[in-house]
Structure 1
């Protein structure tokens, strides 16, 4: 499935706050389709609307909704299993990369080359980086756990400061 939303599809969204700032979590009838950190609710809703231009966006205004509370709980402790369905929308290659990212345990990391190698495509590290940049599910699909081959931080769709914050947060969890 591509990132495009079918005409008339309804996407329900809710916002919260955590160590990454404002967080928007969005859900379709199939599952959570976006987890977006940002500076303001307005910015996040605009980002969601640009990702799903044909959808009707509906504010849930219910922080107790299972899909929302489960994602927020996962943001607090990514060692816990995520128990909501995900509606991953992207190319076949992107979805393959995102599934590979979900296999990296909390508190661990891999390089773009490692991910390409695991996928049986050792020369695809740049394409892996592109798929990471297109990921609409921050932290839930852990593209933040992918580093350069030398172990240094590289780009992150939501900024290097947030990438470092998530990695530090997860490292702190693994030391408990």
Structure 2
């Protein structure tokens, strides 16, 4: 595959995406206009009639009827300038996008759980530090801060030496000589 073929495919995909976006927004506008029209008619009916209960039941039944009609019209949506058909490829695309949304939602939930777990671990770490300080005060009294500082300096020196030399660890198998 040479570079010109790649760019031709890229341009074709880009054009398809642009036309798809325009088509999607036009159909969305058409659907919203229809919904606004239905709402206006229902509000006018509510205002004009005195018996609200009967109107509410009519509105509910009209709404249910509209939902059933929309389910039947799933195959195509017509506009003055555009005709939008749902074929197998489009249905596949829509199902994939729904799956991706669900996966993203699960990932967000997992990251939220992980963040809470990290916060709990940090709180546990601070508890451990507080217990260590209290134990040092009991053991060393007033000199506890200097003893803890010397321990920390010694641990830091050992860790720096380990990082610098990167020693090979002795195998964890018994030697039978």
Q: Under a length normalisation based on structure 2, what TM-score does the superposition of the two structures give?
A: 0.24
Please state which structure has a larger fraction of its residues in strand.
1
Higher relative contact order (CA 8 A, sep 6+): 1
Please state which structure has a larger fraction of its residues in helix.
2
Q: Under a length normalisation based on structure 1, what TM-score does the superposition of the two structures give?
A: 0.24
Structure number with greater Rg is 2
